[in-house]
Amino acid sequence: MNLKSYLIAASIALVLGLWMLSGLFDGSDAPAQEAAESEPEARMDVRVTTLSSESVDRFLESQGDTQAERDVRVRAETEGRVIEVLAEEGDTVDAGDLILRLDLADREAQLAEAKARVAQRTADFQAARRLQGEGFQSEIAVNEAEAALETARAQLSSIEEDIANTRITAPVSGVVERRSVDEGDYLAVGDEVARLLDADPMIAVADIAQQDIGKVRLGTEAEIELATGDTLTGQVRYISGAAESGARTFRVEVAAPNPDGLPVGVSATVRIPQPSVEAVFLSPAWLSLEESGEVGVKVVNADDAVVFHAVDIVRADRDGVYVTGLPDAPRVITVGQGFVRNGERVNAVPRDEATPETDAEAARQAPMTSGGN
């Protein structure tokens, strides 16, 4: 074999060696990479349900209590013994109705004496003026006679008023809530005789926080739910112009017709309507608490990624809460929200495809879950 043949053979051997080496070093990772790419991404299964929003009525709600329109303590304005009682506890009375009478004692004699004194002083004053006109009486004497007449008239008026006060009447219309005396009792000036309640309308008093007082307007219709279970509808009639020091709340009064005479002095919930909003109704168990302290809901977006949305609770009912802050038709995570993070891709399982194992997981997830972003 000549030199040329050796060179050709060596060239072929070199090319083959380089080709084999290129396959060893350059292509060794390709099968592994292709295998890795062919393996599906590991995702956690979460249970989701698609929700829709609805128009929700909102209320500014506050706890308070109820009062009567008038709560009057009737007191004796003269002293004496009770000789007749005409109103019993529970009776309805009108303003001016007689509640009881006191013994006149010697008041009639005092009245007769006062009338006689006025008549005498009137005659003296007239005689003094006549004599003054004839020049036989001084002006000072006339003035003294006139002063004596006025004193007598004042004494007569006083005894007449005292006699009138022996007839104790209702100053306002209402119900006799309590009568403090019975026939035969002796009353001194200022002693309580009875307590009258005028509870129609009923007044519900609530304290509204300073950040909410701007949402209340005079004349706004409001609902009053009593601790007894009864419900009344009234109107806001009074809003305090100054906050209570310390509490920073404002007194608000709602007056509601009370024709049935529902009791006052009971606890009440006052609800003042606010503009309605579009909100989503969901179970409180689906809420999440972030490390930042925000309360929200985790949903799965179109890319199957978890997104945390902070929400505002606008109303709470017995079976759930209405919230705002979610996108349209959100796929809310109902099971597994405590084990996935914001931005993580998941396998969303519709709620109607859940398995018994998923239901068991839901039971364990019932309390509010927490997780970071």
CB 204 within 8 A of CB 224: yes
Give 40's pLDDT tier (boundaries 50, 70, 90): low
Structural domains counted in the chain: 3
| pLDDT value at residue 359 | 44
Are both 224 and 309 inside the same structural domain?
A: no
| pLDDT value at residue 199 | 93
Mean pLDDT across 181-188: 96
Does residue 16 lie in a domain region?
A: no
Structure token digits, residue 154: 């004042």
pLDDT in tens, 308-358: 999 998 888 888 999 999 999 999 999 988 899 999 999 999 977 555 454
Are both 242 and 322 inside the same structural domain?
A: no
Are both 110 and 215 inside the same structural domain?
A: no
Does residue 6 lie in a domain region?
A: no
3-state secondary structure the chain: CCHHHHHHHHHHHHHHHHHHHHHHHHCCCHHHHHHHHHCCCCCEEEEEEECCEEEEEEEEEEEEEEEEEEEEEEECCCCEEEEEECCCCCCEECCCCEEEEECCCCHHHHHHHHHHHHHHHHHHHHHHHHHHHCCCCCHHHHHHHHHHHHHHHHHHHHHHHHHHCCEEECCCCEEEEEECCCCCCEECCCCEEEEEEEEEEEEEEEEEECCCHHHCCCCCEEEEEECCCCEEEEEEEEECCCCCCCCCEEEEEEEECCCCCCCCCCEEEEEEEEEEEEEEEECHHHEEEECCCCEEEEEECCCCEEEEEECEEEEECCCCEEEECCCCCCEEEEECCCCCCCCCEEEEEEHHHCCHHHHHHHHHCCCCEEECC
Are both 270 and 281 inside the same structural domain?
A: no
Are both 323 and 268 inside the same structural domain?
A: no
pLDDT of residue 153 exceeding 90, the answer is yes
Final residue in a domain of this structure, among 133, 160, 193? 193
Does residue 77 lie in a domain region?
A: yes
Are both 128 and 230 inside the same structural domain?
A: no
CA end-to-end span of the chain: 77
CA quadruple 136, 142, 145, 146: dihedral sign: positive
pLDDT of residue 288 exceeding 80, the answer is yes
Are both 84 and 188 inside the same structural domain?
A: yes
Does residue 1 lie in a domain region?
A: no
Provide the residue range defining the domain that includes 77: 72-193
Residue 63 to residue 206: CA distance in whole angstroms: 6
The rounded mean pLDDT for the chain is 85
**Would you say the pTM of this structure is higher than 0.85?**
no
Are both 285 and 269 inside the same structural domain?
A: no
| pLDDT value at residue 10 | 54
The CATH number that applies at residue 302 is 2.40.420.20
pLDDT of residue 37 exceeding 60, the answer is no
Mean pLDDT across 144-154: 92
| pLDDT value at residue 83 | 96
Final residue in a domain of this structure, among 223, 257, 275? 275
Are both 121 and 110 inside the same structural domain?
A: yes
Q: Which amino acid appears at position 313 of this protein?
A: I
Does residue 4 lie in a domain region?
A: no
pLDDT of residue 77 exceeding 80, the answer is yes
pLDDT in tens, 87-132: 999 999 999 999 999 999 999 999 999 999 999 999 988 888 888 8
The CATH number that applies at residue 215 is 2.40.30.170
Q: How far is CA 116 from CA 109, 119, 153, 156, in A?
A: 11, 5, 10, 9
pLDDT of residue 31 exceeding 60, the answer is no
Residue 32 to residue 26: CA distance in whole angstroms: 13
Are both 179 and 250 inside the same structural domain?
A: no
Are both 302 and 269 inside the same structural domain?
A: no
Final residue in a domain of this structure, among 275, 303, 318? 275
Mean pLDDT across 263-270: 94
Give 185's pLDDT tier (boundaries 50, 70, 90): very high
Mean pLDDT across 163-173: 95
Structure token digits, residue 281: 């109704």
| pLDDT value at residue 287 | 92
The CATH number that applies at residue 94 is 2.40.50.100
Are both 289 and 357 inside the same structural domain?
A: yes
Does residue 28 lie in a domain region?
A: no
| pLDDT value at residue 42 | 80
Does residue 14 lie in a domain region?
A: no
Does residue 171 lie in a domain region?
A: yes
